[in-house]
Chain A
Amino acid sequence: MSARRFALAFTTGALALMLAGCDKPVVYKQGQYQGKPDSKPWDNDQFKGNQVEWEKSIKTRNQGQNEYSRAVASAK
């Protein structure tokens, strides 16, 4: 392998490695976030693991902060 081809392969590999670290999503496994024990907010007695129900509750409260939509809803 020529020196030029080796340099190209090395650069491509290094770039791929560097980009692999970009925008890594948070990984949750075995009741842990990045090694710290914590549960998901819907894994409790209230939501019983129902993520959809939890997201619905958060969405409702999110929209509760928008008085423009609240005003329209209350006028109906």
Chain B
Amino acid sequence: MARMKFLCDAERCIECNGCVTACKNEHEVPWGVNRRRVVTLNDGVPGEKSISVACMHCSDAPCMAVCPVDCFYKTSEGVVLHDKDLCIGCGYCFYACPFGAPQFPQDGAFGLRGKMDKCTFCAGGPEPDNSAAEFKKYGRNRLAEGKLPACAEMCSTKALLGGDADVIADIYRDRVLKRGKGSEIWGWGTAYGKPEERPAAKSGDKS
């Protein structure tokens, strides 16, 4: 069973915002709501880096943990979805999310906070697949059409990868090794330290 994830390659992202546009167009997301956005670090400075951010569909999602009405659920593909009929728009999920994924449409004279809206990994919601009700509340259900999220499939430089975590991790690893740099940020060395940085063991020391 696939476990769906996004992965953004900061070496490739050119801040074109194609993913943002694709998402807004695909789901007809209302004005003021951005399910996906591009964040640039050191903007304007040579060597700036951009990454595309949306809901990361966490394995242990904090939004699910804090929701007082338990409106979230996770599918067997690892996609974190929510039921807008249960959502009360309290905003706890927004405070809990480290990626700022939950969005709240503002409406009315006093900027009333509506029900939460977020990236669905193009998997719709609880309504019947590809129904008008599902599209209106959650946008298009591309996963039920056998397709991957529009943002990832639209990405011109393929910086944003989306799909089965194992497969996209393999694609990314292969890419990093082929381009000949960046392998130092991948794998054992990053997790456990590089051998050259460790203090040399004295002879006779026990390992």
Contacts and interface: CB of A to CB of B under 8 A. Distances in A.
Contact of A57 (B125, B130, B146): B146
A62 B126 contact: no
A33 B178 CA distance: 41
Interface in A53-76: 53-55, 57-59, 61-68
A36 B75 CA distance: 10
Contacts of A10: none
A40 interface: yes
Nearest to B129: A44
B128 interface: yes
Interface residues of A, number: 31
A41 B144 contact: yes
Contacts of A46: 144-146
A58 B164 contact: yes
B168 A33 contact: no
B161 interface: yes
Interface of B: 2, 70-71, 73-78, 81, 83, 86, 123, 125-126, 128-130, 141, 143-148, 152-153, 158, 161-164, 167-168, 171, 174-175, 178
Interface of A: 25-26, 28, 33-44, 46-47, 53-55, 57-59, 61-68
Name the 4 nearest CB pairs between A and B, nearest first. A57-B146, A62-B163, A34-B73, A36-B73
